[in-house]
Amino acid sequence: MTALTRGFLGLVLLVAVVWRAQEVYAVKTNRLAQEKSPYLLQHAHNPVDWYPWGEEAWAKAKKEDKPIFLSIGYSTCHWCHVMERESFSDPATAAILNEHFVPIKVDREERPDVDALYMQAVIQMTGQGGWPLTVILTPELKPFYGGTYFPPDDRWGRPGLKSLLNGIAAAWRERRGELIHTGESLTQALQAAELARGAGSLPIDESLLAQAFELSRASFDETYGGFGSAPKFPQAHSLSFLLRFWKRSKDPRALEMVEKTLIEMRRGGMYDHLGGGFHRYSTDRQWRVPHFEKMLYDQAILARAYLEAYQATGRSAYAQIAREIFEYVLRDLTSPEGSFYCAEDADSAEEGEGEKKEGAFYLWTKAEIEKLLTPEQAKLFCAVYGIEARGNAINDPTGELQGKNVLFQVKPQEAPAQLDQAKAILLSARAQRPRPHLDDKVLTDWNGLMISALALGSRVLEEPHYAQAARKAADFILKRMVRKDGRLLHAFRQGPSGVPGTLEDYAFFVTGLVDLYEATFEPRYLTEAKRLTGEMVRLFWDEAKGGFFMTGSDAEQLLVRQKELYDGAIPSGNSVAALALLRVGRLTQDSGFEAKAKQLFETFSAELRQNPSAYTQSLIALDFALGPSKEIVIAGKEADPATQEMVRALYSTFLPNKVVALHPSGPAGQAIEALVPFLKEQVALAGKPTAYVCQNYTCDLPVTTADDLRGLLAQ
């Protein structure tokens, strides 16, 4: 055989190998391999013939006359991973789905509008919701069956997914009319519920705040803090409301509830005692055993609550916790360009093992600790954090904590320098473990929350690098997530998504921009806040009945155009929008924005009256609207130490219902005057920085010292 012949045969063989590899690869991937969402990509190798949400899937369902199997989750969801492993990776389950259904997979963080609609449908059907969300739809996208997690086979009295799918497929063949009727009826009920909103206006006054406080007090856990029993969630915006109620009413019980909760959460396993930041929720009443997922929005909302508690009490422990949260976010959840990632997973692999387990990255055996630390360090650390040879988990929901220890503080920290050294050693060792999956999507709304918290933190903690981090994230969004026509987009990963921003994106980002202006006094951030507030009203406001829709007038039209007021793990768009309207309106003297906020409260007054403790972020806005609130202008050079001392006075105490502007002289002053014309009259007196404090448009005499300013603020 000649060299030429051998070379030709080798080339043929190489082509055959490559072709075969492509063929095998094609079998092992589905359409989701072309998506950017980390959650969808986690399902790209399933044997299920998944479609992303869109026209292609809907057309197939209509053409083939099949129901749609809609599965909604997110990439750091533990039970989503379980269902993917048990069912969606199973060829037998996939065969049923592919033959009888059109399977659609949706990332709830990428499409919060789709998630909100079908979550409400499942709650209507079953009384509860959660993720993974499983919904069966007609080809016209109308839901007729739903639930959350389903085991692969019949178990614990619950139908297995294969049984369920076969049953629905049979019903679609034999009793289709009933299923279609169910879908029609449920859709009409969802539409009717939206139409009923805003029917009649009830009085909105201070009594609503007191009613919410009493309801919160009734569910408060006097022993361990927090509200209700297990599972127990942080509810940080409820704590921020209670701080405002304490300031208004002077009722010490409100502050006691806040402090008890913040202290107990910090002591518990909910908190990452080595790396900072909070896990998603506690599986038990005592805050000891968490669900180990870490979400960006929890860090932002909790950091604000700790900052406000520090302002209210002066206790340095709260300031330290806020710092540790920020350092975690800046270290582990920040992109090279400065934007913030979504979350870290609860599950990760143990060293030397491929299978992922809940909390593996965070758990310790006593032997591991004793191997890494000196005997003295180990004895101290184990005593402070409740380490036991047999493990210390009082609750083990996944059966994966046997022999392991969750770090929670069982006694006061002794020898802090020695303990800090031990923690640093363990943190360094932990960094060598396989890390949990990072969801590296950038969401405008969640970034807005973090920008807001960092901006406030930069003032309260006098840490300029927090303002710089907030500035970088805001600039990223303004540069990379705003279309040429000015429309805000919702998500970014390997480029911006085509999904237009939701109400939450606008409201949360506007709030972040206002806080960033007050942290940096750069007029461009207030300029963008005002522009986006106007766009928010134009795109989302319901001209007929008031309040904001979740989706814009230019967005994809779903079965129902929803409004949301309930403050769950994340505050609702309407709640945050109400406060944004008030703050931007007060800063820029735009009475139209404040009028919209008043109308929003009237629209949702019946819901607020029915159960005010479910709408604590709305009540934070209402507290601002009811007043007294302060408009504060400092005229002077920002770099002047006397000016900085005045700014420091504004943030050294808990004064939530305020807006702040700086009026420098020269060209910089002209830029802010274009936004806030009345500043022209508020100038530095006798060459000294001067503070003007107004309350509901009535101004006190100006003062030129920080001490005099503190006196005015205390009135």
> For strand 51-52 and strand 698-699, is the pairing parallel, antiparallel, or unpaired?
unpaired
- Say yes or no to pLDDT of 22 above 70: no
Contact between 256 and 392 under an 8 Å Cβ cutoff? The reply is no
| Residue 461 tokens, joined | 């903690």
Residue 673's Cβ-count burial label (10 Å; 0-12, 13-18, 19+) is middle
Give the DSSP letter string of 422-484: HHHHHHHHHTTSPPPPEE--EEHHHHHHHHHHHHHHHHHTT-HHHHHHHHHHHHHHHHHSB-T
Given this model, what pLDDT does residue 9 score? Answer: 47
Spatial neighbors of 70 by CB under 8 A, at least 6 apart, are 104, 106, 118, 133, 134, 135, 136, 137, 143
CA dihedral of 169, 171, 175, 178, whole degrees rounded to 10: -100
Q: State the alpha helices, DSSP H only, in 281-353.
A: 296-313, 316-332
Q: Where are the domains of the chain?
A: 27-195, 204-229+458-625, 232-440, 630-714
For CA atoms 229, 233, 235, 239, give the dihedral sign: positive
Q: For 484-491, what is the mean pLDDT?
A: 96
The pLDDT of 603-609, averaged and rounded, is 92
Q: What is the pLDDT of residues 163-194, one digit of tens each?
A: 999 999 999 999 999 999 999 999 999 999 88
Q: Do domains 204-229+458-625 and 630-714 have the same CATH topology?
A: no
pLDDT band at 396 (very low <50, low <70, confident <90, very high): confident
List beta partners, residue 185.
Answer: none
Helix or strand holding residue 438 (H, E): strand 438-439
What is the pLDDT, as a whole number, of residue 199? 63
d(CA 469, CA 454): 7
Which residues, in sequence order, are bridge partners of residue 439?
Answer: 343
The residue to which tokens 């998603």 are assigned: 280
pLDDT, the chain, mean = 92
DSSP 546: -
Mean pLDDT value across residues 573-600:
96
Judged by DSSP in three states, 234 sits in: coil
Tell me how far apart the terminal alpha carbons of the chain are, to the nearest angstrom. Answer: 101
pLDDT tens digits, one per residue of 43-85 = 999 999 999 999 999 999 999 999 999 999 999 999 999 999 9
Which pLDDT band holds residue 352 (cuts at 50, 70, 90)? low
Average pLDDT over residues 84-109: 97
Mean pLDDT (whole number) for 544-561: 95
Q: What is the CATH number of domain 204-229+458-625?
A: 1.50.10.10
What's the pLDDT tens digit per position in 302-344? 999 999 999 999 999 999 999 999 999 999 999 999 999 999 9
Could you tell me the CATH superfamily of domain 27-195?
Answer: Glutaredoxin (3.40.30.10)
Residues with Cβ within 8 Å of residue 192, at least 6 apart in sequence: none
488 φ/ψ angles, rounded to the nearest 5 degrees: -75, 140
Q: What pLDDT is recorded for position 193?
A: 86
Question: What is the fold of 630-714?
Answer: Glutaredoxin (3.40.30)
Which token pair is 620?
A: 């934070």
